[in-house]
């Protein structure tokens, strides 16, 4: 998952999974879900005024089975 914020338009784009978005559907004013041709949600787009809908100063991740992988640039060049 990748979260991108665009301050010039105050928009937030959350890419949930890989795949090409074939269509989008506005589910609430300014909130668009993007779908694959098979109907799977691939992304959520909050068009303009994202900072009024979402607290952009806080990101909490709870209970996800993830690990943090940190690799310095020197390590990646050596490999």
pLDDT tens digits for 9-27?
Answer: 999 999 998 877 788 999 9
The pair of three-digit structure tokens given for residue 37, joined into one six-digit string: 């041709």
What range defines the domain where residue 42 resides?
Answer: 2-78
DSSP symbols for 47-76: -S-HHHHS-TT-----S---------HHHH
Number of domains forming the structure of the chain: 1
Instruction: Give me the sheet containing 23-28, strands edge to edge.
Output: 2-6, 11-15, 41-46, 31-35, 23-28
pLDDT tens digits for 37-68?
Answer: 888 899 999 988 898 888 888 877 778 776 66
- Of the chain, the end-to-end C-alpha distance in Å amounts to 25
């Amino acid at each position: 998952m990748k979260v991108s914020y665009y301050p010039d338009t105050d928009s937030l784009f959350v890419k949930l999974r890989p795949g090409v978005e074939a269509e989008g559907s506005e589910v609430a004013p300014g909130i668009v879900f993007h779908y694959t041709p098979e109907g799977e949600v691939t992304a959520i787009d909050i068009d303009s005024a994202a900072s009024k809908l979402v607290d952009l100063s806080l990101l909490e991740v709870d209970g996800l089975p993830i690990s943090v992988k940190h690799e310095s640039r020197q390590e990646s060049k050596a490999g």
